[in-house]
Structure 1
């Protein structure tokens, strides 16, 4: 079988650090084209890895009839534009998160995928961590009972990415840590809960550290900094989500706040048991033979979440797997994030249309 031909749009840090290796390693794909507004940077990657073609205009790349897959790694604001154009051109699409910067754009992506009959998948790498796979099976098999509430987040002490660049420019990013980090942990919580539908959201956002140059997070290396650039996004967001089944979820995301250390966490509580996942540390809380018990599973870390997500996408394209992610889940995610921003602006709860 001939390898699926892949073209990538956007060759910045996320592409180089999380996508490139996976495409090169997959035996069923061949990376044949790169596109970036900085053509010289894309050319350097192409020269290093023997990639034949480099473009500065993604529309020119999409005109190629031999492309099967388009990988979108642009700044957030262009995710939907490039994805929709690629789907309409008859290509399968794998897009970096977030899905889009507005619910309308996320919906356009989902509709374009439906109309084209092509696979659209957005990066959900945390679903592919070993501990996440365990928790999904644990909940799905009924061991948690009715999951009715929880909390999740990704909080940093000092870790603002690309300060002054597109990450901190709302016109290009859509927001700060909520849309950058919130996607990861909110999605993981919702996935384990069975993807309930959001019906109402309340939230607050803060910008308190726009002047800081301190950093203690390796993740702040993402993006290009600009001393003369813009910082018009939040550096902390907190929120509360209500779902159609009565469940609720608290969230907190920050690039900078006065805490002890950077932490990723998901805690969910069910009628049979609950769990706390803090970074890679998992604890289960349950009852066994009439006794309250804390259980600490020993889960071997396997694979790479980003790479495994891309390999799964390839399997779906080839008909070897059912998709772990559906575009309507992406629409719900962006509806949640947008409603938190709107709630922060209005100072009150925002109801979501069904």
Structure 2
């Protein structure tokens, strides 16, 4: 029996706990949240409830923890759990500073427990199929990728009384690509970052926070301090260019404020033999593979190249993680990614092996936050640390 504690009892913790309870030989043992209101709905589940994280650690009658607190707590709480020998599944991002990255890396190496960052976008069906295709060299040598997280979350930055939420505090104090892992995670897995290749340099730029300030003026009036663009360090859009040691290039965009429909997945992968384009607004993803897909991409080809739906290749390239997933779990949030993510973590924790997203992945992807801020502030490209 694997006993879980949920650290952070809000909506995300509640959702993941509801999925955990469907796994065999898994037990929900405890929930910790500093807000008594957040703890209230857990009372009927018959689990231990804690308002103090240190008290939860002293109690200690659990094997693994899901960390779903605000970002600023992720690294500290994960490190303390690892020091107590607890397996950790931490929500994204894993860290906010380079100092936290190094500290988390050291803690995970020193602990006998399993650490995994819960980047659920890596576990969606389409992203897993592309991963298998990339691993089997279907696209050839990978040379270029685009990825983006474009989601208008301005309404999550301020409370109804006009005060900042924890997300608002992060947007006020941080400049750069402040939420990169949904975008960069799948791309990094496809490119084999940390195995066959590594990130070496990053250059970032950002727009001004025009849409964020406009939202505040519309909802709270022009006299609200946050109605001024100077109040915010986070721009509407931030873009990072990342180069790899093997000569590939990644373009990463994060936009949490521009008014437009939410696009769950935005990816483009290019190799020497083909390419992948994610679907937009409910459309299906597309692939073109030279010598396999119809036509040819060369100029003046007698038969022009034509995209194919990626679902055509699911039977051949379905990833084992997805193929083995429990059918009802596919209806979980984020295209089934939440369920498959939990299954992967539980399996790694039980077997004591390295998880699908290891601590090196976690700190490398999360380091984009401070590195992009540094690049923008100094007006130059910056080098990636070698987290080894």
TM-score (norm 2): 0.79
* Residue 42 of structure 2 is aligned to residue 46 of structure 1: yes
How far 1:177 moved relative to its partner?
8.5
Q: CA deviation at 1:320?
A: 8.2
1:1-354 matches, within 5 Å, as 3-17=1-15, 19-42=16-39, 44-48=40-44, 50-156=45-151, 159-163=154-158, 164-170=164-170, 175=174, 178-180=177-179, 182-195=180-193, 196-206=197-207, 207-213=209-215, 232-257=233-258, 261-263=261-263, 264-279=265-280, 281-288=284-291, 291=296, 292-298=305-311, 303=330, 304-319=336-351, 323-354=355-386
Pairwise CA distance, 1:56: 1.0
CA distance in 1, matches of 2:76, 2:126: 34
Q: Aligned-pair distance for 1:257?
A: 2.2
Deviation at 1:88, TM superposition (A): 0.7
| Aligned-pair CA distance for 1:86 | 0.8
Mapped partners of 2:29, 2:110: distance in 1:
26
8 Å contact from structure 1 (residues 177, 254) kept in 2: no
What's the secondary structure of 1:278's corresponding residue? Answer: coil
- Partner of 2:202, secondary structure, is strand
Structure 2: unaligned runs, 5 residues or longer: 159-163, 217-223, 297-304, 316-321, 331-335
Distance 2:76 2:277 in 1: 38
d(CA) in 1 for partners of 2:124, 2:352: 20
**Partners in 1 of 2:58 and 2:25 — Cα distance?**
22
Contact 2:278 2:285 in 1 (8 A): yes
State the Cα RMSD in Å.
2.5
CA distance in 2, matches of 1:203, 1:66: 45
Separation (CA, whole Å) in 2 of partners of 1:120 and 1:31: 19
**Post-superposition offset of 1:331:** 1.5
> What do the CA deviations read for 1:149-191 (whole angstroms, capped 9, x no partner)?
12110223565523320002139x97478333x2101111111
The higher radius of gyration belongs to 2
- The separation in 2 between residues aligned to 1:14 and 1:205, in whole angstroms, is 29
Once the 2 structures are TM-superposed, how far is the Cα of residue 265 of structure 1 from its aligned partner?
0.7
Change (3 A) 1:135 1:11: same
In structure 1, what is the Cα distance between the partners aligned to 2:385 and 2:176? 25
Gaps of 5+ in 1: 215-226
Q: 2: CA distance between counterparts of 1:350 and 1:176?
A: 15
Tell me the SS of whatever aligns to 2:92: coil
User: Which secondary structure does the structure 2 equivalent of 1:246 belong to?
Assistant: coil
Deviation for aligned residue 1:345: 1.0
Q: Distance in 1 between matches of 2:257 and 2:95?
A: 24
Output one character per residue of 1:215-252: Cα deviation in whole Å (capped at 9) or x when no partner: xxxxxxxxxxxx88885533321110011111110111
d(CA) in 1 for partners of 2:123, 2:25 = 20
Query: TM-score when scaled to structure 1?
Result: 0.86
Separation in structure 2 between the aligned mates of residue 337 and residue 199 of structure 1, nearest angstrom? 15
- 2: CA distance, partners of 1:176 / 1:305: 29
* Corresponding residue for residue 319 of structure 2: none
Q: Distance in 1 between matches of 2:46 and 2:237?
A: 40
Instruction: Rate the CA distance shift 1:95–1:157 in 2: closer, same or farther, 3 A.
Output: closer
Contact 1:273 1:284 in 2 (8 A): yes
1 CA distance for matches of 2:154 and 2:274? 34
Q: 2: CA distance between counterparts of 1:158 and 1:86? A: 30
- 8 Å contact from structure 1 (residues 167, 176) kept in 2: no
- Number of aligned residues: 334
Q: Distance in 2 between matches of 1:54 and 1:79?
A: 20
